[in-house]
Structure 1
Amino acid sequence: MSRVPSLSRDDAVSVHQQPLWDRIEAERKMPTANIFRSLANAPVLLDAFLSYANAMRDSSLLSPKLRELAILSVGHATDSEYEIAHHQSHGRKAGLTDEQLAAVADGTSTELFNDAERAVIALARESTVNVNVSDESWAAAAKHLDDQQMVELTLTIAWYNSGVRVMGLLGIELEDSYRK
């Protein structure tokens, strides 16, 4: 159970918060995901959170497939049911097969991925589990990505590590529509 109220548009305490709800409803799936409903308790920070997340998704040179592989690797390394459930559909849209999604989950079938994909998965897992990464893991990914993409990959991995910790601290539950 969430440790803070899951707010909705009806809970907005001032008319100044209505544009934030307009933004959430325009930019995100409906019904509103629990993470946004919880973060709405801090509306100014939620607004900035949305801007950062949108920039990461819409303004990055990192391919959507590599981004989703990194995010799902973080989700599996932290056993975040919420992150995994929300990003499997994004992974499919980015071109990941169900077989690849299963392989990210259990760390097997590496032949399903090319060298760049394997390097991104390994870097995301190592960073998530160990925080610091080896020069070898960094170099394996950097062999396929330029400096801008490596920074974007780094920020993606760190952002989604932050997200799983926010969800864990706030006790944000997975929506029923995502449960199997």
Structure 2
Amino acid sequence: MRLNTPRIPALTPAEWSPKATEIMSPFVADGRDYNVFRTLMNHPDLAKRWLVFANHVLARSTLPEIDRELLILRIGHLCRADYEWNKHAEISRYLGMSEALISSSKSGPDTPKLQPFYRLLLTATDELHTDAHITDDTWKALSEHYSVEQMMDLVFTVGQYNMVSMALNSFGVQQDSPRT
């Protein structure tokens, strides 16, 4: 974690405004009242609008789940966003992603024995992070596997989680307490 204490607090339910309580009700109901959401309750209007886009990227994207998670893990690592990386490593394991593939999100496209397609995904993430642009060679290679919609979802996935990483790091969102 870049910050040991939050700059913006993760509000408790007692501190939520009526609008925040309404926004958080589905998250509380299924046990997903994570610190990222609780922090965003400091600005419920922003959170409500961001959640629509975030929901598309995480749950309605045209990308296969494993591909999406690899992109998220890589950008989280590149942004040094421990909260994001840890949360999505947990999701990746739940989805059945191997520990080797999860680890490749840290070692990057030069990871030995990495499948060529996963190497492409990591390369695209690195290019977006470094230059805000996917090179022609990488685009062409990915386009052999992905539709136009999937290519768009790839760019927006990396962009969304780059932005989220910036917020998590700058706000000082702390790791969630283990569930009992």
Normalised by the shorter chain, which TM-score bucket?
0.7 to 0.9
Matches within 5 A, 1:23-62: 23-26=26-29, 29-30=31-32, 32-62=33-63
State the Cα deviation string for residues 128-162 of structure 1 (Å, max 9, x = none). Answer: 12222311122222221010000011110000000
The number of equivalent residue pairs is 174
> Residue 119 of structure 1: CA displacement?
1.0
Give, in whole Å, the separation in 1 of the partners of 2:151 and 2:88. 21
Equivalent residue of 1:177, what SS? coil
- Give 1:4-153 correspondences, 5 Å limit: 4-14=8-18, 16-26=19-29, 29-30=31-32, 32-107=33-108, 108-113=110-115, 115-153=116-154
Contact kept? 1:68, 1:94, Cα under 8 Å = no
Q: How far has the Cα of 1:110 moved from its partner?
A: 4.1
Distance in 2 of aligned mates of 1:17 and 1:104: 34
For 2:17 and 2:73, the matched residues in 1 are separated by: 35
Structure 2: how far apart are the matches of 1:18 and 1:102? 37
Report Cα offsets for 1:63-90 as digits up to 9, x if no partner.
Answer: 0010001001101212221111000022
User: Which consecutive unaligned segments of at least 5 residues does structure 1 have?
Assistant: none
| AA aligned opposite 1:71 | I
- Output the CA distance in 2 between the equivalents of 1:94 and 1:138: 26
The one of the two structures with greater contact order (alpha-carbon pairs below 8 A, sep at least 6) is 2
1:79 and 1:124, CA in 2 relative to 1: closer, same or farther beyond 3 A?
same
* Separation (CA, whole Å) in 1 of partners of 2:62 and 2:17: 38
CA deviation profile, 1:100-145 (whole Å, cap 9, x unmatched) = 21222122534232x3222111101221122223111222222210
2:158 aligned counterpart, secondary structure: helix
Instruction: Find out whether 1:165 has 2:169 as its counterpart.
Output: no
CA distance in 2, matches of 1:13, 1:94: 35
Please give the alpha-carbon distance, in whole angstroms, between the structure 1 residues aligned to 2:112 and 2:49.
37
Q: Normalised by the size of structure 2, how large is the TM-score?
A: 0.87
AA paired with 1:106? S
Distance (whole Å) between structure 2 residues aligned to residue 95 and residue 154 of structure 1 = 24
After TM superposition, the score normalised by the length of structure 1 is 0.87
Contact 1:4 1:38 in 2 (8 A): yes
Query: What amino acid is the match of 1:7?
Result: L
Instruction: Tell me, yes or no, if the aligned pair for 2:20 and 2:41 is still in contact at 8 Å.
Output: no
* SS of equivalent to 2:49: helix
Residue 176 of structure 1: CA displacement?
4.3
Identity %: 25
Q: Which runs of 4+ in 1 moved over 4 A?
A: none
SS in structure 1 at match of 2:113: helix
